[in-house]
Amino acid sequence: MLKKIILLFTLLLLFTSCSSDYDKRLKISATTWVGYIPLFYAKEKGWLKPLNIKLLHVSSLAENMYLYEAGNSDAYTGTQYEYSMLSKNMKSLKPIMMLDRSNGGDLVMGNLSVEDLQNTTSQIDAYLELDSVNNTVLKDFLSKYKLEDKNINYINRDQVVIKQMQADSKPTLIVTYVPYNFALEKQGFMELASTKDSLDLLVVDALFTRTETYDAHQKQFSELKKLVDKSIESLKKDPKEFYATVKPYILDMSYDEFVNSLDDIVWINRDISPALKQRMNQAKFPIRDLM
């Protein structure tokens, strides 16, 4: 009888320890920026469900930040800009998984050339997500092309609204990112500068959470890291299958546009070069706790 009780207790303990790895729901929020697409691929493949991970799809970087700040997600994807904003009041906030570096994926578009903007005396409307890295990109652009003294009318809109704009005669700047730029190009806007060659700005994307959240969900985060790496490998091996899987999340991008957008980022999920590490350290972006 005693042996049966001990055996039953042991089996119960084993069952509890196995099931408790994923018994707490982990909510992660992300936009459809091309660098976050591996998360949506993992979702569509059904890989997140066994880990009890729920991926929340949001329309803007600012919305993503506010969602996390309000406690409606446990972790969020974003750039160092959103991290710098939230970490002021969240001292334990940290990046735990690097995803990509923007290499042309963040850009400034307009209906006039840079030279025409420099010469205009009219007010310039600037559409962007104000509470996001869009703000930093615009400041860098205005500084680089000596436009700081222009009459800039800052208009806060999310990318879903911005991408519907049509180019007209009023001087207009748009700060956007892949994949929203493709729709804007079709509607008459041209690329003026990007993080690939015209802007010196460092933009890196990561998954962020608090230390206490990471400690409570360490197993799930660890498995998620493996799935992100697996998703990116799937993308490299069979981009057509990957595209077909994530198509519901990437607006009306064609396959060719999707493939071209991959040139606008550099994956840093596995390796970060010494030069990039140095730039991240200079930007006071912590990397010591990365998985």
d(CA 212, CA 109): 40
For residues 198-220, average pLDDT: 94
Domain assignment of residue 287, yes or no: no
Please say if the pLDDT value at position 12 is more than 60. Answer: no
For residues 6-16, average pLDDT: 48
Q: Calculate ∠ Cα 177-261-114, nearest 5°.
A: 50
Q: Calculate ∠ Cα 79-83-86, nearest 5°.
A: 145
Judgement on whether residues 216 and 264 belong to the same structural domain of the protein = yes
Q: Name 130's Cβ contacts closer than 8 Å, sequence gap at least 6.
A: 62, 154, 156
Range of the structural domain that residue 180 is part of: 106-194
Question: Is the backbone of residue 263 left (phi > 0), alpha (psi -120 to 50) or beta?
Answer: alpha
**Domains identified in the chain, total number:** 2
Average predicted confidence (pLDDT) for the chain:
91
- Band of the pLDDT at 251, cuts 50, 70, 90? confident
Domain assignment of residue 83, yes or no: yes
CA dist 252 to 151, 239, 248, Å?
34, 17, 9
- Band of the pLDDT at 11, cuts 50, 70, 90? very low
Print burial letters for 199-217: b (CB count within 10 Å at least 16), e (below 16): bebbbbbbbbbbeebbeeb
Judgement on whether residues 59 and 134 belong to the same structural domain of the protein = no
Judgement on whether residues 180 and 129 belong to the same structural domain of the protein = yes
Least trusted range by pLDDT, from 117-126, 197-206, 264-273 = 197-206
Residue 40: name the closest of 28, 52, 50 by CA: 28
Judgement on whether residues 110 and 75 belong to the same structural domain of the protein = no
Domain assignment of residue 137, yes or no: yes
What does pTM read for this prediction? 0.86
pLDDT digits (tens, 9 = 90+) for 34-44: 999 999 999 99
Domain assignment of residue 180, yes or no: yes
Domain CATH code at residue 121? 3.40.190.10
- Mark which of 194, 222, 254 sits at the end of a domain: 194
pLDDT of 104 reads: 93
Judgement on whether residues 67 and 114 belong to the same structural domain of the protein = no
pLDDT of 77 reads: 97
d(CA 230, CA 90): 31
CA dist 45 to 40, 72, 129, 227, 241, Å?
9, 24, 31, 10, 11
Position 143, amino acid? S
